[in-house]
Amino acid sequence: MMEAVPLTIPQPVILGFDPGRLKCGVAIMGLDRRLLLHQVVPAMEAIAIIQQLQQQYPISLLVMGDQTTAKQWKARLQTELPDPLRIILVDERYSTLEARDRYWQMFPPRGLQQWVPQRLRSISRPIDDIVAILLIERYLQRLTD
């Protein structure tokens, strides 16, 4: 379910989208790099969820990876969304590996897990939403380079 949205968001936001066959990651981040939302959603519900997000947030563009299913998803988004978004494709190479590292920054291990080397720890949830965050950050980094 969608979380409550602040009444006013003073700036446009970017929607990060990591599409997949079964599940997709979505993230919303302000231009100030403040993360407003991130979640993993079923692929079959992704278009409807993006529509809901468009109603709740001032989304200026959608950023998604340029690999596997990007072309098919881009076409679907452009034809199925009533208010099509500007879609920017970014390089998503190594984003899953980077997302694993970011996961442990966002959710540090507790108890005995903190003593287990990171490469041996298992992640207990999908990280597609973290990939979506990284895609937005890559886009913003590209703008400042």
pLDDT mean values, one per 10 residues, the chain (145 residues): 54 93 95 94 96 94 90 93 91 91 90 84 91 96 82
pLDDT at 76: 93
Characterize the bridge pairing of strands 35-42 and 13-18: unpaired
Q: Residue 12: CB partners within 8 Å, gap ≥ 6?
A: 30, 31, 58, 59, 60
Q: 15 in helix, strand or coil? A: strand
pTM for the whole thing?
0.88
Closest CA to 59 of 18, 7, 13: 13
Fold of the CATH domain 13-144: Nucleotidyltransferase; domain 5 (3.30.420)
- Indicate the domain borders of the chain: 13-144
Tokens at residue 108, please?
Answer: 């540090």
Cα 90 from Cα 47, distance rounded (Å)? 20
pLDDT at 1: 45
